[in-house]
Amino acid sequence: MMQTELDLFAPHDPPQPYRVGTQAMVLPGFALPQVQALLPMLREVIAQAPFRHMYTPGGLKMAVALTNCGALGWVSDRQGYRYSGIDPLTQRPWPVIPEALVLLANHAASLAGFSDFQPDACLVNCYRPGTRLSLHQDRDERDFSQPIVSVSLGLPAVFLFGGHTRNASTQRIPLHHGDVLVWGGEDRLRFHGVLPLKPGVHPQMGELRINLTLRKAG
Ligand code: MD3
Ligand code: FE
């Protein structure tokens, strides 16, 4: 049948999963069917453990606001980067990871080839327009053979996926609301970051991007 200009406004199916490294996979829209259920759970987590800006060991205030859920939460202060079972702000254990989020992460990891992923830590990053995350490696977890699963929500971002040294060239990977990424194996210690968020308003999330990273930290 002939295409009409109206087709431009028809909803698109999310693209198929694709590899960005030998053991790194993007699952576009994988979280979309769960988002409506996840958002109230996320709101509850944030009510119990509010977003806050942490400081780097060098004393710089981090641009990304963060919180955690799970048995372990990632924290940063003058003493260094580490995982802690206690939220330094509330002095209480972090809220539990919503079961639906654990199941989603486990399912995504298995599709990417990592069976039996059982996350014990979920870092929740909050970006506003202009916020960026500079190139870094994730090295604070005990076992680098465990993958990381991330869920992007809200405003789109450009993710930088680098190499094994800070100077290696980077791929730019656009990330949208509902996209899930899984990284493991030889891609686990790649440098990565996020370009400054462009201004915008997301219909569900407003002027925010929230990224959840699920890890087996302990
Ligand atoms: C690739 N967060 O919290 S998530 C972080 O969008 C972090 O908030 C970014 O980097 C964000 O540490 C990116 C995707 C991600 C997470 C860890 C990785 C990609 C990764 C580790 C190695 C390679
Ligand atoms: Fe990271």
How confident is the model over 14-48, as pLDDT tens digits?
Answer: 789 999 999 999 999 999 999 999 999 999 999 99
**Which numbered atom of ligand 1 lies nearest the CA of 193?**
10
**What b-and-e string marks burial along 184-209, b requiring 16 or more CB atoms within 10 Å of the CB?**
bbebbebbbebeebeeeebeeeeebb
Pairing of β 180-183 and β 24-27:
antiparallel
Q: Say how many domains are in the chain.
A: 1
Distance (Å, whole) CA 60 – CA 41? 31
DSSP symbol at 103: H
Phi, psi dihedrals of residue 137, rounded to the nearest 5° = -115, 150
Distance (Å, whole) CA 96 – CA 99? 8
Q: Whose CA is nearest to atom 6 of ligand 1?
A: 211
Residue 2 lies in a domain: no
Q: Is the dihedral of CA 206, 64, 71, 32 positive or negative?
A: positive
- Give the confidence band of 4 by pLDDT, cuts at 50, 70, 90: low
Judge whether 187 and 24 are in contact, CB under 8 Å. Answer: yes
| Among the listed residues 67, 199, 207, the one whose alpha carbon sits nearest the alpha carbon of residue 123 | 67
Task: Tell which phi-psi region holds residue 178, choosing left (phi > 0), alpha (psi between -120 and 50) or beta.
Answer: left
Residue 7 lies in a domain: no
Residue 107 lies in a domain: yes
Query: Cα(73) to centroid of ligand 1, in Å?
Result: 15
Residue 126 lies in a domain: yes
Query: Cα(191) to centroid of ligand 2, in Å?
Result: 8
**pLDDT at res. 10:** 86
Residue 197 lies in a domain: yes
- Give the confidence band of 12 by pLDDT, cuts at 50, 70, 90: confident
Residue 5 lies in a domain: no
What number is the average pLDDT over the span 148-158? Answer: 98
Q: Which residues line ligand 1 (CB under 6 A)?
A: 123, 125, 133, 138, 148, 150, 159, 181, 183, 187-188, 190, 192, 194, 211, 213
Least confident of 11-15, 68-72, 160-164: 11-15
Give residue 30's domain range: 16-215
Distance (Å, whole) CA 216 – CA 207? 30
Residue 9 lies in a domain: no
Phi, psi dihedrals of residue 179, rounded to the nearest 5° = -75, 145
Q: Whose CA is nearest to atom 13 of ligand 1?
A: 193
Query: Cα(134) to centroid of ligand 2, in Å?
Result: 9
Provide the CATH number for the domain around residue 164: 2.60.120.590
Report the chain's terminal Cα–Cα distance, integer Å: 56
Residue 10 lies in a domain: no
Q: Give the mean pLDDT of the chain.
A: 96
**Which numbered atom of ligand 1 lies nearest the CA of 125?**
8
| Among the listed residues 157, 110, 153, 148, the one whose alpha carbon sits nearest the alpha carbon of residue 130 | 157
